Structure 1
Amino acid sequence: MTNAFAFDAKQFDTAQLESVFLAPARAFAALSVDFTEKLVNAQLDATKVYADTNLAQLRSLAEVKDAEGLKSYLEGQQEVAKELTERMKGDAEKVVALQQEFAQESQKLTESTVKQAQESAEQATETASKAVKEAAPKAAK
């Protein structure tokens, strides 16, 4: 007695599995890793700038020795706040650009995968049609 669910290696098309499922999955994984790397690097760069700025401000505050020094320090805080605000705006724009790039690349990848799947389905249909046309005369005998 044969098992109807037994694996038949002759019917298993590894090239089709590769082109329809595995290659697109690897491409999307690579795209995701690249996006994550860029995003993490942007965050690390921003964090370093913010930490360096904060440390510099703490050093400046620690050097205040009199009322004039405190006044100078406080006046400088406005400029630091302005610079940090501009930096945050630039960092946010950078993250948005990265996300847009990821979305566009994901869409291209999806369109390519769908097109490839359609082509594979068409080839499979053609192959099946040919097999049926060839088998029909033999079955009629």
Structure 2
Amino acid sequence: MNTVNTNEMTQQFDNMFMAPARAFMTLSVDYAEKMINAQMDASKAYTDTGIAQMRQMMNVKDAEGLRSYMESQQNVAKELAERAKGDADKVVSLQQDFIQKSQKLTEDNVKQAQTAASKMSKTA
């Protein structure tokens, strides 16, 4: 086998198998990074809210302070519910984006493989 054929086979192997695998891994790593960052952001927001609530509770010194604290809890609960909804929407959006991009990648790879197979059958 000569060097030209070996280089051509290596290139075909890379185009057919390795390049699509690298592209899918890149997509997967990007998706994982976005999901981890979203989870870390949400976790920090919930933790900060919890700590702020504990600090606020520590400042309660009388019945009026307790009443005020309890009233503020309705707003906190509302904000947390809105945050949770926003976080869930973000995760769904990231998942949909990943699915669409991976489907497109798969379609492109199938087309490329069909084209390569067609060329190989014509030269054979």
TM-score (norm 2): 0.94
Q: 1:96 aligns with which of 80, 87, 92?
A: 92
AA at the equivalent of 1:47: S
Point out 4+ residue stretches in structure 1 off by more than 6 angstroms.
Answer: 8-11
Query: What is the root-mean-square deviation in Å for CA atoms of aligned residues?
Result: 1.3
CA change 1:9–1:64 in 2 (3 A) is farther
Whose radius of gyration is greater, 1 or 2?
Answer: 1
**Aligned positions, number:** 121
CA change 1:95–1:9 in 2 (3 A) is farther
Q: Does 2:60 correspond to 1:60?
A: no
- 1:46 is paired with a residue whose SS is helix
CA change 1:123–1:76 in 2 (3 A) is same
Q: 2:27 aligns with which of 28, 31, 38?
A: 31
More helix by share: 2
Listed as ranges, the gaps of 5+ residues in structure 1 are: 1-7, 129-141
TM-score (norm 1): 0.83
- 2:60 is paired with a residue whose SS is coil
Listed as ranges, the gaps of 5+ residues in structure 2 are: none
* Percent identity for Structure 1 against Structure 2: 60
